Amino acid sequence: MNAWTFIYLMLVLKIPVAAMAWIVWWAVHKTPEAEPDPQSSDGGSQRDRHPRRPFPRGPRRGAHGEIAPASPPRTRPAVARVRQDERTER
């Protein structure tokens, strides 16, 4: 086994292990967030009491709300043809 391989395995690959250990240590020592004071809240839900209005409808067609116009006629796709090349004729 090469000496550089040993150094790589013993030092460089330990960096992720040390980082994970630091994250666990940080999470254990973190102070919990303070709870909001129950005296300062109004005691109700923070959601709006009334539901939102629906989105506006799309524009009507014509004066009396006619139906949508028919779709245009479909066209046939062009057929791909092989070009005759001078080299392929031989």
- Digit-by-digit pLDDT tens for the chain (90 residues) are 688 888 888 888 889 999 999 999 999 998 887 776 666 666 666 777 777 888 887 777 777 777 777 888 888 877 877 777 766 655
Assigned domain for 39 exists: no
Assigned domain for 50 exists: no
Assigned domain for 90 exists: no
Q: How many domains does the chain have?
A: 1
Assigned domain for 44 exists: no
Q: Give the residue numbers spanning the domain of 12.
A: 1-29
Assigned domain for 81 exists: no
Residue 54 parent element (H or E): none
Report the C-alpha gap between 67 and 70 in whole angstroms.
9
- Contact indicator for 15, 21 with CB cutoff of 8 Å: no
Does the pTM surpass 0.85? The reply is no
Report the C-alpha gap between 22 and 56 in whole angstroms.
54
Assigned domain for 85 exists: no
